[in-house]
Amino acid sequence: MNLLLNFFMKFFVPSANAAEHVGFFEAIKPPIDISTNGHLIDSLFQLTTNLILFFFFFVCLGIFGFSYLYSKKRHPKPLYNHGTSRKQLALVAGIGALVFIMVDMQITTISNHDFINHFLNYPKEENEKVLRVEVLAQQWAWNFRYPGKDGIFNTEDDVVTLNDLRVPVNTKVIFQVSSKDVIHALYFPNARIKVDAMPGRISRLWYELTKTGLYDIACAEMCGTFHYRMQAKLTVYPQDEFETWQKEMQERATHVTEQDKPDLFWGWQWESTSTLSKN
Amino acid sequence: MAFFEQDIHDAPSTFLSKYVFSFDHKVIAKQFLWYGIAFLGIGGMMALMIRWTLAFPGEPFPIIGDILFPNSGGIVPPDTYAMLFTLHGTIMIFFAITPILIGAFGNFCIPLMIGARDMVFPTLNMLSFWLAVLSAVLLLASLFTPLGGAAGGWTSYPTLSTLIGSAGVGQTLWCLSLFVLGVSSTMGAVNYIATIITLRAPGMGYFDMPLTVWGLWLTAVLNAIFLPVLGAGLLLLTFDRVFGTTFFLAGAAATSGSGDPVLFQHVFWIFGHPEVYILILPAWGIVSDLLSFFSRKPAFGAKATALAMTSITILSTVVYGHHMYSTQMSPLLTQSFMMLTMVISIPSAVFFANWLGTLWKGSIRFQTPMLFSLGVVFVFGLGGLTGLYLATVSTDLYLHDTYFVVGHFHYTMAASVLLGGFAGTYFWFPKMYGRMMNERLGKIHFWISMVGLNGIFMGMMIIGHAGMHRRIYNPFVYEFLQNLIPLNRFITYSALVMGAGQLFFVWNFIYSMYKGPIATQNPWEVGTLDWTIPSPAPHYNFKEIPVVRCGPHELGNPNLVGKDFQYQTEELVKA
């Protein structure tokens, strides 16, 4: 009886911790976009939605309209027609072609353009000021590695953090991502992007963030029991604050951090993106 | 056209040979139906536990929670949660939908609709069912191993599914179970293909077959080609787990040599993408037929529908890479898979147009099977169109592995297939059991299911677009998901409503089996061969092998006298 009571309490008593002041349409918005490329995804999503609604409107019109007009009561004599006349075939083929041209060609072209010119267009490390970060995923945490003062990865002065990624605003950041054990996925909801972290492989990702603040990083690929706890924090600093933080961390890396802590020795040599973009 | 004589043997007399180890396709079909419905119940319960956890994290599952999870006071623990969604996916795909749509309707409809006395290989047919039972035993046994059942997701990506991520023997049993099931389904598929090719009634060309048979046939072809691929992948995975090979191990995990975890994803999705069409094609076929039967007019462009389904079958084999955009394949591959995936929308648009064309100027009877068929058109419209977001690579970068994907594939694979399956069950129930199902209960069942599943899956797509990723035990540890608590609860309520609605079906099914009104030979007044024989279908179906003289959708011909449809055995009346 007690159990039954609990069950009904769930249904009818609103919970106090639910964010009640947030309206429905506010709540279902994707997380705030903080990257330079996120709007490409949002606008393509919107365009696809509009096109889908356009075609789904006609599907619904067919289902509900025909159901209304041609019910047995209203339309007792069906039309004996096999839909094989040349006109009808042309109409059906035309609908197929219309969907292909109006929807597929359009969104494929846009998506392809965005993919090649933005998401795959890695910044040139030689020419531009970029921040490079190595990411090692493990069950169930994110390790981040910044090069030390020497600018070379996998040396003793590297800055290594756990579940704590800090990047400067308005600076291009390139990640090289790998995994220690199982497949994970580095997911930045606020930058609308994710990439798999796979053992034995290095995958890449870049973005440029435009808003300072504290954001969530999640693991998007099922990676075991505590997959849901594989959370890291992304701090976006203004340029100067990032430099202060970086300097401090580099100091600590050379002086404070224990040299024989095995957790810190996981880096790899940075693979230059200029050689990568060729293949 | 039959290639050989179909002998009539004596009817089996013992209980074992009649109901258990039966060679009769109709009995095997019913066995598969019961098997599927039982697992549908188990998988559905698992779905409710998953939904409960997402809506009320940390609160005990009502009523049966204390019995199932005594150690945590009725709360679903995180490791059990992983097991639940893994087995929910596995059970629903391989142990519920496959047996119902392919096992039950494939076995029941193919011989009856093409005018054959049985399948071409009855023994293989029986083995196919009993191997499926063995596979279910293996899967259920895995739950009672020390570390519990498989918990790596139904996709079971290595290295999570190797010893690195899942140490227990449960995952090995899961692999073996699916391997055995693959063998079972391949046996069935070979049988269906051979039966349709060799045992069509004299006079029945391929385009004289009902579209249901077309759908089942194409499914069987895909099954026969691609289940062995899954079997190969699972066998290699089993080797990795049991014999210490390193096909799918890489990085620090591979102590010797090195394989590639992504290789498994390729193997899996080469099978996995056709699999979604394996599940949906029979439903498409059933819906295409039923729309015509209940609109009382010929199927609009039936040949075009059959050819569109065929081209989708072919296309489905070359688009699998869209499941793997986030693994960073070569951009060239990504672009190719994106384009090929998009091409599928052309044949899809063609049969959607044909479905609506069938309704156009019909005289529609809204009986339960028709309601479910119209439901399929609606939900598959949504499910198919939302695939576009996931086919374009840039939006997929955001939506991959979120609940948007979950909502999308549930619309196509769960909602459409389930509604199609229900349509078929209500439609062929008289031929199976000789009694009618209750219309009123059927309609209640339809409307509750329709409201429930749209609430669930539309809700899932919305929370997915809002960023909530998949397979997480407690979404609300993330700040950016805090606002989604009310919507998650709404989805859970919808799921509970839908679950409760299925009780109407179960009651209707069991009650009608014994107490339903006796069905006439042809209660729906349609002309395919299955309705030319008494209900329930007699031993060896056809006393005389019928001769086919016209197509399966000859309804509404104004020159017919006394009835508005023609049996396929009758000479076509000129309009």
Residues A114 and A137 placed together within one structural domain of the fold: no
Residues B491-532 pLDDT 10s: 999 999 999 999 999 999 999 999 999 999 999 999 999 999
pLDDT value at B314 more than 80: yes
Query: Could A108 and B339 be called an inter-chain contact, meaning their C-beta atoms sit closer than 8 Å?
Result: yes
Instruction: Give me the pLDDT at residue A200, please.
Output: 87
Query: Could A72 and B365 be called an inter-chain contact, meaning their C-beta atoms sit closer than 8 Å?
Result: yes
Residue B394 within any structural domain of the chain:
yes
Residues A215 and A106 placed together within one structural domain of the fold: no
CA B388 to chain centre: 21
B residues 163-192 closer than 8 Å to A (CB) = 164-165
How close B334 gets to chain A, by Cα (Å)? 9
Residues B158-167 pLDDT 10s: 989 998 888 8
Please indicate if any CB of chain A lies within 8 Å of the CB of B349.
Answer: yes
Measured between alpha carbons, how far is A186 from A141 in angstroms, rounded to an integer? 11
Residues B367-385 pLDDT 10s: 999 999 999 999 999 999 9
Q: How many domains does chain B have?
A: 1
Residue among A4, A29, A199 whose CB faces B159 most closely: A199
pLDDT level of residue B3 (50, 70, 90 thresholds): low
Residues A203 and A154 placed together within one structural domain of the fold: yes
How close A137 gets to chain B, by Cα (Å)? 12
Residue B13 within any structural domain of the chain:
no
Please indicate if any CB of chain A lies within 8 Å of the CB of B299.
Answer: yes
Residue among B350, B362, B463 whose CB faces A70 most closely: B362
CA distances from B532 to A13, B115, B537, B564 (A): 57, 10, 10, 15
How close A251 gets to chain B, by Cα (Å)? 30
Residue of B nearest to A67 (CA): B364
Query: Could B345 and A190 be called an inter-chain contact, meaning their C-beta atoms sit closer than 8 Å?
Result: no
User: Looking at A212-216, B8-12, B465-469, which range is the least confident one?
Assistant: B8-12
Residues A172 and A150 placed together within one structural domain of the fold: yes
Residue B421 within any structural domain of the chain:
yes
Mean of the per-residue pLDDT values of chain A: 87
Give the position of tokens 């109709």.
B26
pLDDT level of residue B77 (50, 70, 90 thresholds): very high
Residue B251 within any structural domain of the chain:
yes
DSSP string computed for A148-187: -TT--SSSTT-EEEESEEEEETTSEEEEEEEESSS-EEEE
Residues A106 and A163 placed together within one structural domain of the fold: no
Instruction: Give me the pLDDT at residue A273, please.
Output: 61
Chain B interface mutation, best of A47, A92, A118, A119, highest count of B Cβ atoms under 10 Å:
A92
Residue A29 within any structural domain of the chain:
no
For chain A, list residues with pLDDT below 70: 1-21, 256-263, 273-279
Query: Could A193 and B378 be called an inter-chain contact, meaning their C-beta atoms sit closer than 8 Å?
Result: no
Secondary structure E strands in B404-499 = none
Which residues in chain A have their CB less than 8 angstroms from residue B296's CB? 72, 78
Residue among A30, A45, A220 whose CB faces B469 most closely: A220
In which domain, by residue range, is A136 found?
130-259
Residues A142 and A190 placed together within one structural domain of the fold: yes
Residue A15 within any structural domain of the chain:
no
Task: Please name the amino acid found at residue A62.
Answer: G
Residues A135 and A239 placed together within one structural domain of the fold: yes
Q: Which residues are A205's β-sheet partners?
A: A175
Q: What angle do CA B210, B212, B215 make, to 5 degrees?
A: 120
Over range B316-322, report the average pLDDT.
93
Mean of the per-residue pLDDT values of chain B: 93
Residue A225 within any structural domain of the chain:
yes
A residues 84-103 closer than 8 Å to B (CB) = 84, 88-89, 91-93, 95-100, 103
Measured between alpha carbons, how far is B369 from B133 in angstroms, rounded to an integer? 29
Name every residue whose Cβ is closer than 8 Å to that of residue B388 and which is 6 or more positions away in sequence. Answer: A48, A51, A52, A103, A104, A107, B342, B345
Predicted interface score ipTM higher than 0.85: yes
Which residues in chain A have their CB less than 8 angstroms from residue B557's CB? 80
Instruction: Give me the pLDDT at residue A151, please.
Output: 86
Query: Could A78 and B363 be called an inter-chain contact, meaning their C-beta atoms sit closer than 8 Å?
Result: yes
Measured between alpha carbons, how far is B28 from B30 in angstroms, rounded to an integer? 5
How close A242 gets to chain B, by Cα (Å)? 23
Instruction: Give me the pLDDT at residue A258, please.
Output: 63
In which domain, by residue range, is B94 found?
21-532
Q: How many domains does chain A have?
A: 2
φ, ψ for residue A213, nearest 5 deg: 145, -175
Token output for A69: 């007009």
Quick one: CA torsion of A171, A174, A180, A186, rounded to 10 degrees? 70
Chain A interface mutation, best of B66, B336, B364, highest count of A Cβ atoms under 10 Å:
B364
Residues A64 and A143 placed together within one structural domain of the fold: no
Please indicate if any CB of chain A lies within 8 Å of the CB of B298.
Answer: yes
Residue A6 within any structural domain of the chain:
no
Residue B14 within any structural domain of the chain:
no
Residues B393-449 pLDDT 10s: 999 999 999 999 999 999 999 999 999 999 999 999 999 999 999 999 999 999 999
Cβ contacts of A156-159, under 8 Å, gap ≥ 24: A156/A253, A156/A254, A156/A259, A157/A250, A157/A253, A157/A254, A158/A253, A158/A264, A158/A267, A159/A246, A159/A249, A159/A250, A159/A252, A159/A253
Residues A148 and A252 placed together within one structural domain of the fold: yes
How many helices (DSSP H) and strands (DSSP E) are in chain B? 18, 0
Residue A63 within any structural domain of the chain:
yes
In 10 A of CB A24, how many CB atoms?
A: 11
Residue B265 within any structural domain of the chain:
yes
Residue of A nearest to B329 (CA): A203
Over range B30-44, report the average pLDDT.
95
Query: Could B157 and A222 be called an inter-chain contact, meaning their C-beta atoms sit closer than 8 Å?
Result: yes
H helices within chain A, ranges in order?
Answer: 2-12, 24-27, 38-60, 66-69, 86-99, 106-114, 239-255, 273-276
Torsion sign, CA atoms A115, A116, A122, A123: negative
Record the pTM.
Answer: 0.93
Token output for A34: 């903080």
Instruction: Give me the pLDDT at residue A263, please.
Output: 67
Residues A106 and A143 placed together within one structural domain of the fold: no
CATH assignment of the domain containing A219:
2.60.40.420
CATH assignment of the domain containing B316:
1.20.210.10
Residues A205 and A186 placed together within one structural domain of the fold: yes
Residue B8 within any structural domain of the chain:
no
Type and span of the H or E element at A137: strand A130-138
Residue B545 within any structural domain of the chain:
no
